[in-house]
Amino acid sequence: MSTLAPRPRAASVTDMVEYVLPQHANIGSTVFGGQIMAWVDLCAAICAQRHAGRPCVTAFVDDLLFKRPVRVGQVVRLRAHILATFRTSMEIEVDVHGEDTITGEVWPTVECRIVFVAMDDERRPTAVPPLLLESDADRAAQAAAEERRRLRLAKR
Ligand SMILES: CC(C)(COP(=O)(O)OP(=O)(O)OC[C@H]1O[C@@H](n2cnc3c(N)ncnc32)[C@H](O)[C@@H]1OP(=O)(O)O)[C@@H](O)C(=O)NCCC(=O)NCCS
HSE value, Cβ hemisphere, 13 Å, CA-based, for 67: 11
The C-alpha atoms of residue 45 and residue 119 are separated, in whole angstroms, by 12
Compute, in angstroms, the gap from residue 58 CA to the centroid of ligand 1: 8
Average the pLDDT over 44-48 and give the result: 98
Average the pLDDT over 122-127 and give the result: 98
Residue of 89, 116, 156 to test ligand 1 pocket, by largest number of atoms within 8 Å of CB: 89
The C-alpha atoms of residue 74 and residue 14 are separated, in whole angstroms, by 20
Q: Whose CA is closest to atom 12 on ligand 1?
A: 125
* pLDDT class of 1 with cuts at 50, 70, 90: low
**pLDDT over 90 at 34, yes or no:** yes
Element (H, E) at 112: strand 106-118
The C-alpha atoms of residue 119 and residue 136 are separated, in whole angstroms, by 30
* pLDDT class of 2 with cuts at 50, 70, 90: confident
pTM of the model: 0.95
pLDDT at 152: 92
Average the pLDDT over 42-49 and give the result: 98
Q: What is the pLDDT of residues 60-107, one digit of tens each?
A: 999 899 999 999 999 999 999 999 999 999 999 999 999 999 999 999
Compute, in angstroms, the gap from residue 86 CA to the centroid of ligand 1: 12
Ramachandran sector of residue 104 (left: φ over 0; alpha: ψ -120 to 50; beta: rest): left
The C-alpha atoms of residue 45 and residue 51 are separated, in whole angstroms, by 10
Are residues 43 and 115 in contact, defined by beta-carbon separation less than 8 angstroms?
A: no
